[in-house]
Amino acid sequence: MTQAEPTAGFATTQLHAGYVPGTPEFTVLPPVYQSSAYAFSSLTEAREKFALREKGYIYSRNNNPTQAVLEQRLARLEGGVAAAAVASGQAAVALATLALLGRGGHIVAASQLYGGTVDLFDDTFRDFGLDVTFVDQDDLDGWRRAVRPSTRAFFAESVANPIAQVLDISAVAHIAHEAGVPLVIDNTVATPFLLRPRDFGADIVVHSATKFIGGHGSSLGGVVVDLGTFDFSAEPEKWPGLFVPHWRYGDVSLWEAFGRERAFTTLVKSKFVGDLGPALSPFNAFQLIQGLETLDLRVSRHVENAKAVAAFLDAHPSVGVVFHPSIETNPWRARAETYLPKGSPSVFAFELAPSDEDTFDRVERVIDALRTIRLVANIGDARTIVAHPASMTHNHMTPDQLAAAGISQGTIRISVGLEEAADIIADLDQALARA
């Protein structure tokens, strides 16, 4: 019995990849290895493992067998070569990009990003002397013009949170490759079930596994997947973290020690998770693995429910724009047909129809009247959730940044859950009567 044949389909891979029941107890599920550290049989073994000359577990900040199952399973589902599991989606975004930027690097990023990613790039990264240029993700010339000699990565979400703007991944990947840098895609909202960025030329994927991968709103986690497509060795001088022999790794380079397949994720884990500390707890890794087992089933239902809710909202007189690609007038509808043939994700936004009354007061009345749908700063939960980005997730963004992300005071984000679609719609209907 193997973990999952290389030719296995999505549903088989999400259940089996990365784990073969075996010693010591033949548990059919991957065990929660709730151990901070691992015993060495001799000092020689400890020395070899610390020098990364011998593979094996040392300390759970660096690696853990439950994390490893999640890493292998998600790498397979994304079509990648290796993955690094970390404590949160925020950590995945931060560490993947830090590992690329090195000292004094520059990143070109879409303006349409999760607010926490904007804060990271625009505030914390600048504190570290790293630079960012934000561009409208549909402005291909903007991506091209933003490139500098110090650029080390392009970054965007495949389907942007909250207005479900679908990225032209192939076009942006092409420009990134012309500039000699990898395209990093945050695939949190789409999930690999709806869209595999590798199929369109992306190089690295990051996830907030907190969302659809876990799927039940119980556990934070994040994953960086190296898709194995970017040839770092074409310009090794750009990536000293991979190519310069380092005292930390016994005076060899990570590229030499771990090869093309593992060098980048080893840099993420052994340097950045090791030094900065955002390790994924084994228990959270276990819950995220459980979530993965039903990803296709859950996401299929999220997609169906979202389509029904979007159609209801679109027809409602108190609702203005509905930013869901299933809506006929949606600017990204044609692109969704190329990138999302199984359907569009269940995270999207809508605006109340214009009125003479104060928009915020109306939004507040509608949100406070909801009974089944919860007001929560999260997405991808099994439950239906709404949020008001301008006062919640994006509250500290400037008016210009909000406008660039397509968010106004009247924008309500919804993450459609797994309840009966009729019940979600009935709740929205009675709440919208207050608009």
Ligand X SMILES: Cc1ncc(COP(=O)(O)O)c(C=O)c1O
| 345 contacts ligand X (rule: CB under 6 A) | no
Among 188, 191, 266, 305, binds ligand X (CB under 6 A): 188
Binding part of the chain for ligand X, among 48-56, 87-95, 130-138, 414-422 by CB under 6 A, reads 87-95
Binding part of the chain for ligand X, among 20-28, 82-90, 163-171, 262-270 by CB under 6 A, reads 82-90
Rounded distance between C-alpha atoms, residue 294 and residue 346, angstroms:
16
Question: Helix 359-369 crosses helix 421-432 at what angle (to 10 degrees)?
Answer: 140
Please state the closest distance from residue 220 (CB atom) to ligand X, in A.
5
Q: Identify the CA nearest to 279 among candidates 270, 287, 291, 288.
A: 270
Q: At 43, which helix (H) or strand (E)?
A: helix 43-50
Nearer to ligand X, 172 or 319 (CB): 172
Nearer to ligand X, 61 or 238 (CB): 61
Among 60, 67, 72, 88, binds ligand X (CB under 6 A): 88
Please state the closest distance from residue 88 (CB atom) to ligand X, in A.
3
Nearer to ligand X, 227 or 431 (CB): 227
Among 130, 306, 379, 405, binds ligand X (CB under 6 A): 379
| 97 contacts ligand X (rule: CB under 6 A) | no
- Asked if residues 310 and 324 have their Cβ atoms less than 8 Å apart, the reply is yes
Please state the closest distance from residue 219 (CB atom) to ligand X, in A.
9
Classify the C-alpha dihedral 71-382-89-111 as positive or negative. positive
Nearer to ligand X, 233 or 391 (CB): 391
Nearer to ligand X, 253 or 325 (CB): 325
Please state the closest distance from residue 155 (CB atom) to ligand X, in A.
11
Among 208, 265, 346, 411, binds ligand X (CB under 6 A): 208
| 381 contacts ligand X (rule: CB under 6 A) | no
Please report where in the chains the tokens 């007038």 appear, as a residue.
329
Nearer to ligand X, 114 or 134 (CB): 114
Rounded distance between C-alpha atoms, residue 164 and residue 160, angstroms:
5
- Residue 350 makes CB contacts below 8 A (sequence gap 6+) with 313, 319, 320, 321, 322, 323, 324, 411, 412, 414
Q: CA dist 243 to 32, 260, 275, 367, Å?
A: 35, 11, 19, 52
SS3 of 323-349: the string is ECCCCCCCCCHHHHHHHCCCCCCCEEE
3-state secondary structure of 102: coil
DSSP string, 271-315: IIIHHH--PPPHHHHHHHHHHHTTHHHHHHHHHHHHHHHHHHHHH
DSSP state of 192: H
Binding part of the chain for ligand X, among 25-33, 55-63, 185-193, 287-295 by CB under 6 A, reads 185-193
Residues 107-166 that bind ligand X (CB under 6 A): 114, 116, 157, 161
| 291 contacts ligand X (rule: CB under 6 A) | no
User: Site map for ligand X, 5-44, x if CB under 6 A?
Assistant: ----------------------------------------
Nearer to ligand X, 49 or 324 (CB): 324
Nearer to ligand X, 63 or 88 (CB): 88
Q: At 351, which helix (H) or strand (E)?
A: strand 347-352
Rounded distance between C-alpha atoms, residue 208 and residue 222, angstroms:
5
- Residue 383 makes CB contacts below 8 A (sequence gap 6+) with 217, 373, 374, 376, 417, 418, 419
| 220 contacts ligand X (rule: CB under 6 A) | yes
Nearer to ligand X, 272 or 312 (CB): 272
The length of the chain in residues reads 435
Rounded distance between C-alpha atoms, residue 52 and residue 249, angstroms:
6
Binding part of the chain for ligand X, among 46-54, 182-190, 281-289, 324-332 by CB under 6 A, reads 182-190
Nearer to ligand X, 280 or 421 (CB): 280
| 102 contacts ligand X (rule: CB under 6 A) | no
| # of chain residues touching ligand X (CB under 6 A) | 16
The token pair at 186 is 């945050």
Nearer to ligand X, 58 or 376 (CB): 376
Instruction: Note the residues at the interface with ligand X (CB under 6 A).
Output: 88-90, 93, 114, 116, 157, 161, 186, 188-189, 208, 210, 220, 222, 379
